């Protein structure tokens, strides 16, 4: 299958290792993965902030960039939800664009959807000898309804101990610009999420969106500087689940997220 990687802004600029992990996984399965250099932001931040007119050129650019591919994959439930759920509404007043969106949106997948539903794979032969807990991010949980797909992939990883996250369905408090506009509320929600993560005794917290992981990871990192807050055990690391899946017995992902 010829697959395009939509890397997303956060992964392109801050977490490029996640994009590389997606490519490694899919190429290991025998698929051709391409990175269209002309890709850009999906426009989610613009649309969510009320700048619909400013989002439209990005919608058109996305469609122009990815229309020819059999499948588009992104390591972000949030950005995929933007394409599948918001693009049809944004394009509704332009029949030609709406038709193209209707053709492309169903072929745009979050990584676990592509692996489990399209490629029929759950065991990638990965190895990760650590205790891990999983946070289902809001867009993946409520808009894409990923369900247990990421968990099924993680359960198949050799030597990985997966522990349930209390209150897993609760938002971490990021929400894009929400964390800036409502910093106090966001901080309180983050504190609750960090409490839950630390209560599991996990060494890693995984998720499908690096934006949320950056928020959670920042909260955990700040706790590690304050004795008695439980942030480090000796250190809880936030990591995208794709980076765990990219590890194998031969090349274990034990250094993921900067951990030696």
Q: Given a cut of 50, is residue 254 above it in pLDDT?
A: no
Residue appearing with tokens 């490029």:
16
What is the per-residue pLDDT across 20-50, written as a single tens digit (0 to 9) for each?
A: 999 999 999 999 999 999 999 999 989 988 8
Tell me which of 38 and 176 has the higher pLDDT.
38
| pLDDT given for residue 232 in this prediction | 42
Q: What percent of the chain has pLDDT over 90?
A: 75
Please, which pLDDT band fits residue 222 given cuts at 50, 70 and 90? confident
| pLDDT given for residue 253 in this prediction | 57
Q: Given a cut of 70, is residue 195 above it in pLDDT?
A: yes
- pTM for the full model? 0.88
The distance in angstroms from the start CA to the end CA of the chain is: 35
Q: What is the DSSP string of 112-128?
A: HHIIIIIS-------B-
What is the per-residue pLDDT across 1-27, written as a single tens digit (0 to 9) for each?
A: 999 999 999 999 999 999 999 999 999
Q: Provide CB contacts within 8 A for 133, sequence distance 6+.
A: 162, 163, 164, 165, 197, 200, 202, 204, 205, 206
What is the per-residue pLDDT across 99-128, written as a single tens digit (0 to 9) for each?
A: 999 999 999 999 999 999 999 999 999 999
Q: Given a cut of 80, is residue 227 above it in pLDDT?
A: no
Q: Given a cut of 70, is residue 233 above it in pLDDT?
A: no
Q: What is the mean pLDDT of residues 201-227?
A: 86
| pLDDT given for residue 172 in this prediction | 87
What is the per-residue pLDDT across 122-172, written as a single tens digit (0 to 9) for each?
A: 999 999 999 999 999 988 889 899 999 999 999 999 999 999 999 999 998
Q: What is the mean pLDDT of residues 180-198?
A: 88
| pLDDT given for residue 43 in this prediction | 94
**What's the rounded Cα separation, in Å, for the pair 24 and 69?**
19
Q: What percent of the chain has pLDDT over 70?
A: 91
Residue appearing with tokens 């990005």:
58
Q: Given a cut of 60, is residue 229 above it in pLDDT?
A: no
E strands, the chain, where? 2-5, 32-34, 71-74, 108-110, 131-134, 161-163, 204-207, 237-240
């Amino acid at each position: 299958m010829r697959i395009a990687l939509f890397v997303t802004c956060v992964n392109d600029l801050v977490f490029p290792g996640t994009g590389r992990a997606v490519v490694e996984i899919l190429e290991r399965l025998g698929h051709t993965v391409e990175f269209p250099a002309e890709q850009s932001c999906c426009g989610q931040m613009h649309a969510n902030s009320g700048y619909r007119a400013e989002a439209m050129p990005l919608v058109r650019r996305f469609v122009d960039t990815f229309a020819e591919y059999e499948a588009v994959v992104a390591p972000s439930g949030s950005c995929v939800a933007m394409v599948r759920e918001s693009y049809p509404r944004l394009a509704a007043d332009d029949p030609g664009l709406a038709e193209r969106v209707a053709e492309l949106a169903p072929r745009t997948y979050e990584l676990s959807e592509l692996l489990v539903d399209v490629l029929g794979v759950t065991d990638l032969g990965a190895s990760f000898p650590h205790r891990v807990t999983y946070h289902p991010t809001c867009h993946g949980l409520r808009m894409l309804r990923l369900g247990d797909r990421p968990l099924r992939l993680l359960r198949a990883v050799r030597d990985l101990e997966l522990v349930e996250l209390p209150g897993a369905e609760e938002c971490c408090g990021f929400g894009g610009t929400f964390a800036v506009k409502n910093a106090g509320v966001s901080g309180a929600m983050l504190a609750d999420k960090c409490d839950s993560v630390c209560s599991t005794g996990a060494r890693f917290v995984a998720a499908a969106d690096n934006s949320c992981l950056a928020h959670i990871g920042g909260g955990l990192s700040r706790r590690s500087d304050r004795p008695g807050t439980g942030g480090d055990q000796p250190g809880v690391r936030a990591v995208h689940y794709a980076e765990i899946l990219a590890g194998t017995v031969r090349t274990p992902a034990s250094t993921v997220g900067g951990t030696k």
